[in-house]
Structure 1
């Protein structure tokens, strides 16, 4: 864990660049994290003590360049900050490291199984997940790690349950923005996948349609009243 010197003034979020300047190299890096964020926004709509960042600079030490995970979840922090949101995530201002970091392997290898794994382990981030949708580098499509006694241990279960989060994470087939493919989803403790906003809307439409049919039937058959 990195330590800060309280005698030295720390840079503020406004003084720090908002990323490492490296663009994502695949559409999935944006959409996978976007879907996870959207599902959480629906499932935790009544909560204000969490933040899910995607491709956002994560500053963990004043004298280090930020790392930019494809996605990360922090608990015990403000859901929204200001009118324009966070330009980056600065640990010494937030007061909390992420509880989960997600990296998505795409065309360009960026140390997901090496330098980033080592860094997140040194930071003592409880959970680290690598999603490898293109099955690159002869690695499995889904790898989940739990921090135990300061070291990451690979977890075999999928969905991968995270006690501190109260949710599991795993793969599943579905449609997002009209794109049918394998996605990452949140799961409850019973292993049931949480609904996406699109699925929730479709369920509501189905309920309304069923109610309208019932009302028409009652109107055609007064005895049913």
Structure 2
């Protein structure tokens, strides 16, 4: 765990830059963690003890610049501070709670995902480090590491990979999100069933509504065949 002098002045999130002004290398680095966040917002809609950040600065030491993961999940923190939400994730404003999981999406321009960032996240006591490299062909594009005695250990490359402290699994699967069909990262339950995306839930609800309407139309037709006006039953 990184140390700093608590007697030093600790700036608030309002005083710290909310970005490192480094643009993401490609659209996937925004969409992939954004999809994971959107699924959690539905599954954990009634929970207020979690936070998922996307391309947000994480301040762990007032004397160091923020690290900006593509995505990260923290448990045991307030989901919402106030109506302005979080500007950044600042350790000393979060009771020194590190993210339980960090996600990095590797692009053509590597940014230390396998080296310096991996080392830093271990020093910050991030329990799970997830690296997704969609360009990999010979090795699995999804690697999930668990922190053991200060070092990251690669977990068995199952799909999905179960994360017991989170109560969810993470895995990859081909699907459609925002009209884009490709491989995405998803959350899974303990039985290995993929959790639905917001778009899929809407389509599912619309299909159920159509099914109910069709059943009602068939019933009305049968009543007419029997000489009964269905409108007279209202």
**Same topology, TM > 0.5:** yes
1:180-215 deviation line (CA, Å, top 9, x unaligned): 000000001111100000000111011111111111
CA radius of gyration, larger in? 2
**Contact kept? 1:75, 1:98, Cα under 8 Å:** yes
> Partner residue of 2:46?
46
> Partner residue of 1:133?
134
**Contact kept? 1:175, 1:181, Cα under 8 Å:** yes
- Quote how far apart the aligned CAs of 1:141 are: 0.8
TM-score by length of 1: 0.95
- Quote how far apart the aligned CAs of 1:139 are: 5.6
> Partner residue of 1:221?
222
> Partner residue of 2:116?
115
**Contact kept? 1:132, 1:139, Cα under 8 Å:** no
- SS of corresponding position for 1:15: coil
> Partner residue of 2:28?
28
Question: What is the rounded CA distance, in whole Å, between the counterparts of 2:83 and 2:44 in structure 1?
Answer: 20
Structure 2 residues without counterparts, runs of 5 or longer: none
> Partner residue of 2:148?
148
- SS of corresponding position for 1:69: coil
- SS of corresponding position for 1:72: strand
> Partner residue of 2:178?
177
**Contact kept? 1:26, 1:107, Cα under 8 Å:** no
- Quote how far apart the aligned CAs of 1:221 are: 1.4
Give the superposed CA RMSD: 1.6
- Quote how far apart the aligned CAs of 1:133 are: 0.9
> Partner residue of 2:103?
102
Question: What is the rounded CA distance, in whole Å, between the counterparts of 1:38 and 1:105 in structure 2?
Answer: 21
TM-score by length of 2: 0.91
> Partner residue of 2:90?
90
Structure 1 residues without counterparts, runs of 5 or longer: none
- SS of corresponding position for 2:29: helix
1:50-72 deviation line (CA, Å, top 9, x unaligned): 11000000001111111000000
Paired residue total: 224
Question: What is the rounded CA distance, in whole Å, between the counterparts of 2:10 and 2:48 in structure 1?
Answer: 26
